[in-house]
Structures are given as C-alpha cells and as structure tokens.
Chain A
Amino acid sequence: MLRYLGGRLVQAVVIVAIVATITFALIHLAPGDPFSAVMDNPNVNERVRATLRAQYGLDRPLPEQFVRYVGQLARGELGWSFSHDRPVREVLASALPNTLLLMAIALAGSFALGILIALVQVARRGSATDHALSAISLFFFSMPDFWLAILSLLAFTYWLPLFPVGGAVDPVMHDYMGFGARIADRLRHLLLPALTLTVLAAPGVARYQRAALLDVLPADYIRTARLKGLTEREILRRHALRNALLPIISLLGLSFPALLTGAFFIEKIFAWPGMGLAVVNAIGTRDYPLVVGGVILGSIMVTVGSLLADLLYAWADPRLRAR
C-alpha cells in the first residue's frame, strides 16, 4: 500500500513537471510575446514588469529561462497577475475555496443523484421508467455546460426570479449582515450554480453506474444472493451496488476534468468568484500569467483528484486493501 502510494505520488510529480514544461513551451512558442499585453498595459508599473522578467527571465537564453521557471514553480510562484495586481498564487488561492466548494457540492450531489437514478433504472430495467430516465440522462449528458447554465440562469433568475443573478454573496449588503443572515445569503447564491453543475454531472454518473450495475448483475454471486432468498431490492442495494461502486470510484477520478470544465462555465455565467471566473476573465484582459497559473493549478487538481480516487479505490476494494 505504501509502495503503491509512493509510486503514485512520484507519478503525480512527474505529471505536474510535464504540465509545467508544456505551459512553458506554450508561452515561448506563441507568436509574438504573450506578455506584450502586460508590458503594454499602462496600469502595470515597473515593479510588476520587473517581477515578470524575473519570473520568466524574459531576456535570458531559453534553457536558463526554463530552469528559472521550473524553479519558481517548485516554490509555488506562479507569477504576477497584472489585472489583479497581485501574485497569481494569491489570486488563485483566494478563488480556489469557492471553486472547491462548488465542485464538492456538485460532486456529492451528482454522485448521489446519479447512483439513485441508476438504481431506479436497474430495479425496473426494461420498463418505461428505465427508458425515460435513460433518455433524460442522455439529454442532459449531451448538453454543453455553458448552455445549461445560461438556460438555468434565464429560467430561475429572469423568468422565475427565485435566485439572485450572480456572485457568491450580495455585494453590497453582505458585510453588513449578521452571522445567520450571511450564511443564508451565501446559500441563496450558492444553490443555483451548485444545482446546475450537479445536473450537468449527474447523467454521466447515472449512465456509468447503470452500466456497472448491469455488468455486476449476471455475476455468480448475485445468483448466490438470489438463491439465499434476498429480494431484488436487497440484492441491488447490498450486493450489486457495493460491487458496482468500485467502478464508480474510478469514475470519480475520471470526472474531475469534466467537473472542472463545467465549473469554469458555471462560474463565468453565475459570476461565481472562483478560479474559473478568474481565469475566464483573464482571457479578456489577456492576463497570461493568470491563465497559465490556472492551467497548472487545474492540472494539479485533476492529478490530485485522480490520486485520491485511486487511494479510495484501493481502500474500498478488499482485494487491493491487503496489498
């Protein structure tokens, strides 16, 4: 187990190193200078330009620039965001909790919802309910993230104004509220984006889980369970689900990139102040260090996510746990 963990950690570090190399290549292969926007920006003072030059060693030979860049990364330095006039690390660090909150809720919600749908479908496999749920899942599964986000914004803030139109809190009044009111204010703002992301992610889970359950059902031990006189429900819930959860843990690892991508659009459309919004806005301001920082952080999140999923898998499967 420890060896396995160690191996995966090394692998994760290698992955991040390669990601860093790719982003470095991106910066330096780009036609023109991606930093020209920074260097041209009149609101960027000399100190920032100097920081940038130091970070990327812009006037040094390429290999030296690379070494410098990797060294800075290793220390957690992601450069200077001129549009925020703060270190990229700080910008992302202050935005990250909001993104993680959104993703965590959507992750939990979508897996719960997805598994539930799959259970209902498998319990009634072949029925009209099964087919209807399959069709609905497929519909939402095929939906581009940003489109559903736009539609839900349209539906629940304009047509049926149940939710505030954007942001994580009431920008004007939040700081004047009492503790309870602040919590309520946050929840009110969180609900719609979180629900939207949940609805975006759940169909994938449902489809995957349904397939996993159907894969498990012909297994001999399911027949054994049936032979014991268990009801179909008990069989599904106890024997099938437990085994079909193993592939779902793999899905957990695989779903991070999609979830992150979804969070980007959701944050943009609901003005949710997470790293997605920061990066998407950085596209507009051509704040390249922030974009690159976002790419690197996103990759780290995905790597860490799949690492955690692997660990969870190893823990959940008694056949692997022993090792």
Chain B
Amino acid sequence: MTAPLLSIHDLRTWFYTEGGVARAVDGVSFDIGAGETVGIVGESGCGKSVTALSILRLIQPPGRIETGSRIEFEGREIVTLGDEEIRDIRGNRISMIFQEPMSALNPVFRVGDQVAEVARVHAGMSKKEAWDRAVEMLALTGIPDAETRARQYPHQLSGGMRQRVLIAMALMMKPALVIADEPTTALDVTIQAQILDLLVDLQKKIGTSILMITHDLGVIAETTSRVIVMYAGEVVEQADVDELFAKPHHPYTEGLMHSMPHIGHDQERLNVIPGTVPSPTDWPHGCRFRDRCPYSWELCEREHPPLYEVGGAHVSRCHLAIEPERRNHPHPPLVVQEGVAAA
C-alpha cells in the first residue's frame, strides 16, 4: 500500500479557556488514502469539527494544536508548516465545505467573485479568467444560468444553491482533499440528497478524497467507504462502512445506530443514548463513555481502554474486546441526573 494522502497521528487540539483546558481533540489518529471517502461520525461536541479545522490549521486562539501532534499531508507536516505554506494548501490542496451555507458566504460580495477569489489567490489568474473559471465551476455544480447567478449576492440564492456555490468554491482548484463538515444538515431533506449525489459525482470526476463529517449515519452509509466514530475527543471505533453497520462493536456506535430513524419502521420515538457527553475540561478517568454505557464494569473505571483490534481493519476502544461475554448482561446506565452532583 502506498503512503496515505493524509495521515494524522496523536492529534491533540486543546482550548485554554477561563474554565480550564478543554481537550476537544485528545489523541486522534487516522489515515485517508487518495481518492478515498472517509466519514467521521459522532455527537456534537465530540471533536470531529475541531479535527477537521486542525487539518487546515484553522484553530483560533485560545485553541492550540499541542506539540507532538502530527498531520502529514502529501508528505508535508502541516502542524509545523509556515504561514505562507499552509495558506498555499488551503483552498488549493485541501478545501472545506461548511454546514451553514448562508453564513459561510460573505454577504457583501457577489458569489461569482467569492468563487473566483480562490483561483485568483492560488492560480494567479486575472480577474476575467478567474471569473470565467468560477462560472464554469458553478455550472458544473449544477447551478442553472450560472452566469447570472454568479452576479448575485448570497441573500438572493436559496440554501441549496448556496451550498453548491460553496462546493464550487471548494473544488475550484481540484484539491486532493475536501473536508465536508455537515454539508447537508442545514438543508431540506430533498436538497440534502441532491447535494450528496453532487459531491459523490464530482468526486468521481475530479478524483479527490473526501472527509465527510456528520452526525448522521445515513449520510455515512450513502457516501463513505470507511467510518471513524468519535466520542469525547477520541476515536472510539473505526471500520469499513459495511463492517461497521453489520457488526458495530463499541457500545457508543451501537447507541448511535439505535438512535437512527429506520425508514419503514413505525417508531414513535428515537432511541436516544441516555445522558450527556462529559465536559471536555474534565474528561473522566478510564472509559469516557462509562457513565452512559449499559455494559460498563469496574475495569472501565480503572483503565482507559486502548484501541483494540476486533477484526481486520476494524478497531474499537472498548474493553468488551477482551471480555465479550459481558455484552449479554446489560444493566441500566449509571447516568447521573443533572443537578444532583451540585446539591
């Protein structure tokens, strides 16, 4: 196997806030191969977006990528890269699509100019060339009458249209990697599917890798080949998409799957994982999922689980890997009610 396109090793991105050090990403490692589509899934606050921003070094103070973290991309070490070099990568070799297409576009510029700006920065194109390129790209993302649309301002476009603009912007330089951070969450269900199809389609045409960040396992199932599950700043499970859906190992992944709405099933309520994610300033000792886990036992409290190999490329950060029989004896989770601790 050739060297992966992106290789993250022991990434730790911490935020130094008034309330203490928030270890939002706390030792994450994974690879993405060229042309591959990898998904990161997890609840909000699990560190998946911070991981994405870390890859582009877009962490703003008081956040900081801790020394010892490594992000290797196309053979270069991003963490220690100079400002100018990292800027050369942004939007050019790695680009990103955000969740909120409205706020991600500058309200006071025409969308065409905003798309064209990428080419002007990175390819040194003239205004005219860049504009033409932008219109071309907008057309490619399926915007009808792209020439006219390009002259409009963000507020004049629909949500789906704006997301297409962002996609056009992201793909302008045919980057090696596109990070899509919840690209469909803010959109209507019908538009969601269109946008996902578009992404997959464009990936095939351009051949980029995609890192798909979402809380929605449906999106994962539809677009990715490999899945990384994150919880409390850590990778808790990683597997090929089919393997994961067939044989989820980590109780958290299990919980996520149960909370997925199953089409056709007449369910009144989603199964929600009880409890809340602990505070990033104060990760619990041992297993971070312990309090919400129906299988946890004293080992989970005592020892922080490593990533166990549970079959092929499938890894899981759960002690069940060494005592699988405990899966047969679930107990009610040790959820602590809010406020009780303060009393």
Residues of A within 8 A of B (CB): 126, 218-221, 223-231, 239, 242-243, 246, 316-319, 322
Contacts and interface: CB of A to CB of B under 8 A. Distances in A.
B39 to A, nearest CB: 20
A255 B327 CA distance: 70
Interface string B91-111: 110011010100111111100
A3 B56 CA distance: 47
Nearest to A222: B106
Contacts of B89: 229
A229 B186 CA distance: 25
B118 interface: yes
B234 interface: no
Contacts of B107: 221, 243, 317-319
25 contacts: A220-B98, A221-B104, A221-B105, A221-B107, A223-B98, A223-B104, A224-B104, A224-B114, A224-B169, A226-B90, A227-B96, A228-B91, A228-B95, A228-B118, A228-B121, A229-B91, A230-B117, A231-B83, A239-B109, A242-B106, A242-B108, A242-B109, A243-B108, A246-B108, A318-B155
Nearest to B172: A228
A240 B117 CA distance: 15
Nearest to A234: B121
B133 interface: no
Nearest to B117: A228
B56 A239 contact: no
Contact of A319 (B60, B103, B114, B153): B153
Contacts of B169: 224, 228
B153 A231 contact: no
Nearest to A217: B60
B304 interface: no
Contacts of B95: 227-228
B87 interface: yes
B9 interface: no
B90 A221 contact: no
A229 B58 CA distance: 10
B155 to A, nearest CB: 5
A263 B295 CA distance: 76
Interface residues of B, number: 32
Given A230-B121, A243-B107, A224 B98 contact: yes
B64 interface: no
B117 A220 contact: no
Given A229-B90, A230-B121, A224 B153 contact: no
Nearest to B153: A318
Given A224-B166, A228-B118, 15 more contacts: A220-B103, A220-B104, A221-B107, A224-B98, A224-B106, A226-B58, A226-B90, A227-B58, A228-B95, A229-B121, A316-B108, A317-B108, A318-B107, A318-B108, A318-B155
B319 to A, nearest CB: 39
Contact of B58 (A219, A221, A223, A243): A223
B153 A227 contact: no
Contacts of B104: 220-221, 223-224
B240 to A, nearest CB: 29
A229 B92 contact: yes
Contacts of B67: none
Contact of B106 (A229, A231, A239): A239
Nearest to B107: A319
